Amino acid sequence: MEAKQIEVIRRRLEELKWSIPELFRRSGVAIPTIKRMLNPKANYNTTTNTINKIATALGIDAMDIYDARVQTNDEYLGINGYIDFMGKITRINNLNDLKKIAKSVEESINAKNEAKKIEKIDKANQKTQSKAPIDTTVINLSQHESYDTAKLYTWSFRKSDDEKDGDVNDLGNMCKGYPFKVCGEKFLNSECAYISGMFSQNTPKATEIQRELQKSDNGYEAKKAIRRKYEQVGLSRDDWNTFNVQWMLFVVWQKVTQNKKFAEKLRKIPSNAMIVENSTFQKAQKGKDTAAFWGMRNQVIKEATQTLETAAEVENFTASKKDVEKAKMVARNRVNHVGTWEGVNCMGKILTICKHCIENGTEPPIDYDLLRSKGIYLFGKLLTFEGLPKAQEAIVPKPTSAKQAKVKETPTRKKKVAQEVRNEAISTGERVKGIIGAVIGEVVGSRFEFAKSLPKRRYELFASQCSFTDDTVLTVAIADSLLHGKDFKDTLWEWALHYPHAGFGKSFKQWKKNKKKNEEATNDSKGNGCGMRVSPIGFHAKTLEEALELARLSAIISHNSDEGIRGAQSIAAATFLAKQQTPKEEIKKYIEETFGYNLHMTDEEIKAHVDSLTDIGEKQLAENTCPLAIIAFLVTDDYEDAIRKAIGYFIDTDTVACMTGGIAAAYYGVPQNIVNEVADFLPQEIIDIINEFDHIHLQNTRTTPKDCHRWGDIFVYGSGDNKNGETEGFTASKYFGAGKILEGMD
């Protein structure tokens, strides 16, 4: 900050007779941050959000701070104000600053124009490609190929987390999540099973190596560490290259016939597609190019990918790093049908063959005579390749539609919701911010309520055992109250009465009972029920003070105790601060100093704490759960990981995940695919309240253009000291005509 800006803040502090701690208390900005801001020598560049908080607390216009800067004789000082460009507010002091924005526009337009050309070619090629199914009988696994994407439909895969047509395109050997057995022995991924063939001699050392591979769930590490370590000391088979291709075909076929999830993934690929492993970005090894043997390269795809990723990066330059990477992934997988693939593509051919075999009930052309002649031992046992699963035994019924497949997994509900309504429900966009995050946390956590451990591999978020319970009902009740100006107490009562079997706690049931008898319906519970339902307050409140007061009022109805109120306020405050995109360290500091919670606990300390709680009532106290819900958010980097972390603490899993989910949704947003899935578990009346609340409380107050096609799309908000008198603001087109900076812009 500049000296004159600091002077404005210090002068106001003197007028109010406030200390720095007092400013911290009223603004929520951490004391170290305030001290750095007010130190001229620190030259501290603070955020717009922080300045707005300081100004609000001091009772002054934020513009008074923004505009209190040193004037210069810069010849370009005539342009002075704030640019609203692609949703980001940027300070403009002179023409050079505006030129920097111009450069961003230029990069954006150039990248988008190139991306459009690529996509046009992609669409044109799709129209000319053969629609006939691939004839797998003529595939030669070792022959070099050239696939012209204008003639042949190719289905390429590269990264394990890439998506295509809405599904993760994890077809590679390295990918986790598809365990299977080879001759009765289980492997966690096909790469480890494949490498086992490399060390398949009849020796104790070979068996030891195979056991090491069997335990590994990371194919990449198995290749780089285990294989390399033993291959370098001469422990691999000398004849490995004479049968490795047939061994790979055999291994992948075992994976396809024994892992239905993987078989289903292959079946979804169109029959006229040749599967291709994209090894374009892999470097050739010294003396051999295995990348071009198992996969293929396509220079046009490489260049197209880089252009598409650049366009996505520029277009999402205000987003978080994680969201930018997601946008780049979506962009690069939008185009697949350009250029020519070159290479052997052995892995892609094997997958293509296995796909057609599983569909037709036939067997792949595995040369079992060759494999038997090599004397292959697995864990000391000679393989005869007899009694193996047949294709007919492993056929996976193809779902007639995605809707039907989803309906089968939907748990019984009191109220059936039309599939069309569920698909439309809740919100649009790639990430959703709102109370839906709390609801999802509760639904996902519900099936682990009394679990003592999680599945060994990464579990699916939603399963038939999931359900919404009292956490969702009361969260929606608070949202309904805030939306329609209803009394907290009456609204909680109405929703609880409507869902009497939602799983309410003992104390809340007593509150309901008293209310029914028209007795004083209060309770001094210290439980976490007051914290699980307050995420709507964090989203609704305009100030931190309002969030704290509303949380208190919502708590005293059924949790009129210091601990109950503190729990509700801590979760509401964390949600509010997360919504404001307050840095995590500041959130942590505020919660610790205001509520006395220890948010520095490690996983080991948390486990010891949870294990020390033997009574179920202790595990539902606000003081034992609210801090953990906040920690789960603080130590993770996205919404899904946050609720998984919360569930992993194994303490009142649905409620802790509900509280974490609300905070994480405010900070990160919830991926749209997760939002769509939870709709299957919710009655329409609950969905309606969530929709109404999230749309009202999270709509933008000012819509700004996502795509800038002309200078008139960029607006500069003028300030009072502008030399040219632009106090009301102006568009950049006032200073830049056609061709001045960007060719073709008006």
The model's pLDDT over 685-735, given as tens digits with 9 standing for 90+, comes to 888 888 888 766 553 322 233 333 334 444 454 433 333 444 444 444 444
Close Cβ partners of 741 (under 8 Å, ≥ 6 residues apart) = 99, 102, 106
- Give a yes or no: residue 324 inside a domain: no
H-only helix segments in 216-298: 219-221, 228-232, 244-258, 260-267, 290-294
- What is the DSSP secondary-structure string of 182-199? ETTEEESSHHHHHHHGGG
Residue 22's CATH number: 1.10.260.40
**8 Å CB contact between 679 and 670:** no
- What is the DSSP secondary-structure string of 68-119? -------TTTT--EEEEETTEEEEE-SHHHHHHHHHHHHHHHHHHHHHHHHH
- Give a yes or no: residue 403 inside a domain: no
Least confident of 326-340, 431-445, 523-537, 591-605: 326-340
- Out of 19, 45, 70, a domain closes at 70
Q: What is the pLDDT of residue 120?
A: 86
147 membership: H or E segment, kind and range: strand 145-148
More confident residue, 344 or 743: 344
Q: What is the pLDDT of residue 522?
A: 57
Per-residue pLDDT reduced to its tens digit, 251-261: 999 999 989 88
Q: What domain range includes position 133?
A: 129-298+339-394
Close Cβ partners of 626 (under 8 Å, ≥ 6 residues apart) = 528, 531, 566, 567, 570, 571, 597, 659
Does residue 643 have a pLDDT over 80? Answer: yes
297 SS3 class: strand
Answer yes or no: do 352 and 430 share one domain: no
Question: How long is the chain?
Answer: 746
% of the chain beyond a pLDDT of 90: 40
Residue 556's CATH number: 1.10.4080.10
Q: Which two tokens stand for residue 637?
A: 């980097």
Does residue 372 have a pLDDT over 80? Answer: yes
Other Cβ atoms less than 10 A from the Cβ of 602: the count is: 10
Close Cβ partners of 539 (under 8 Å, ≥ 6 residues apart) = 434, 435, 575, 576, 579, 666, 693, 694, 697, 698
- The whole-angstrom separation of Cα 352 and Cα 156 is 11
Answer yes or no: do 203 and 250 share one domain: yes
- Out of 371, 394, 417, a domain closes at 394
Average pLDDT, the chain: 80
Per-residue pLDDT reduced to its tens digit, 95-146: 666 666 666 666 666 777 777 888 888 888 888 888 899 999 999 999 999 9
Answer yes or no: do 352 and 447 share one domain: no
- Out of 53, 70, 87, a domain closes at 70
Q: Which two tokens stand for residue 302?
A: 């490489």
Answer yes or no: do 442 and 370 share one domain: no
* Count of domains for the chain: 3
Answer yes or no: do 48 and 169 share one domain: no
- Give a yes or no: residue 39 inside a domain: yes
Answer yes or no: do 382 and 490 share one domain: no
731 SS3 class: strand
pTM metric for this prediction: 0.47
Q: What is the mean predicted confidence (pLDDT) over 55-62?
A: 84
- What is the DSSP secondary-structure string of 612-657? T--STTGGGBHHHHHHHHHHHHHT-SSHHHHHHHHHHT-SSHHHHH
Answer yes or no: do 155 and 237 share one domain: yes
Answer yes or no: do 382 and 440 share one domain: no
Q: What is the mean predicted confidence (pLDDT) over 426-443?
A: 77
- Give a yes or no: residue 567 inside a domain: yes
- Give a yes or no: residue 151 inside a domain: yes
Answer yes or no: do 18 and 153 share one domain: no
Q: Which two tokens stand for residue 642?
A: 């946050």
- The whole-angstrom separation of Cα 594 and Cα 602 is 21
- Give a yes or no: residue 92 inside a domain: no
Least confident of 56-65, 101-110, 268-277, 442-451: 101-110
| Cα angle, residue 586 at apex, residues 582 and 591 outer, rounded to 5° | 110
Answer yes or no: do 475 and 385 share one domain: no
More confident residue, 708 or 347: 347
> Cα dihedral sign for 255, 259, 265, 271?
positive
Q: Which two tokens stand for residue 121?
A: 């070619």
Return the closest-CA partner of residue 2 out of 78, 91, 89, 88.
Answer: 91
- Give a yes or no: residue 564 inside a domain: yes
Residue 378's CATH number: 1.10.357.40
Answer yes or no: do 162 and 258 share one domain: yes
Provide the terminal-to-terminal Cα distance of the chain, rounded to the nearest Å: 36
- Give a yes or no: residue 96 inside a domain: no
Answer yes or no: do 58 and 185 share one domain: no
Does residue 407 have a pLDDT over 70? Answer: no
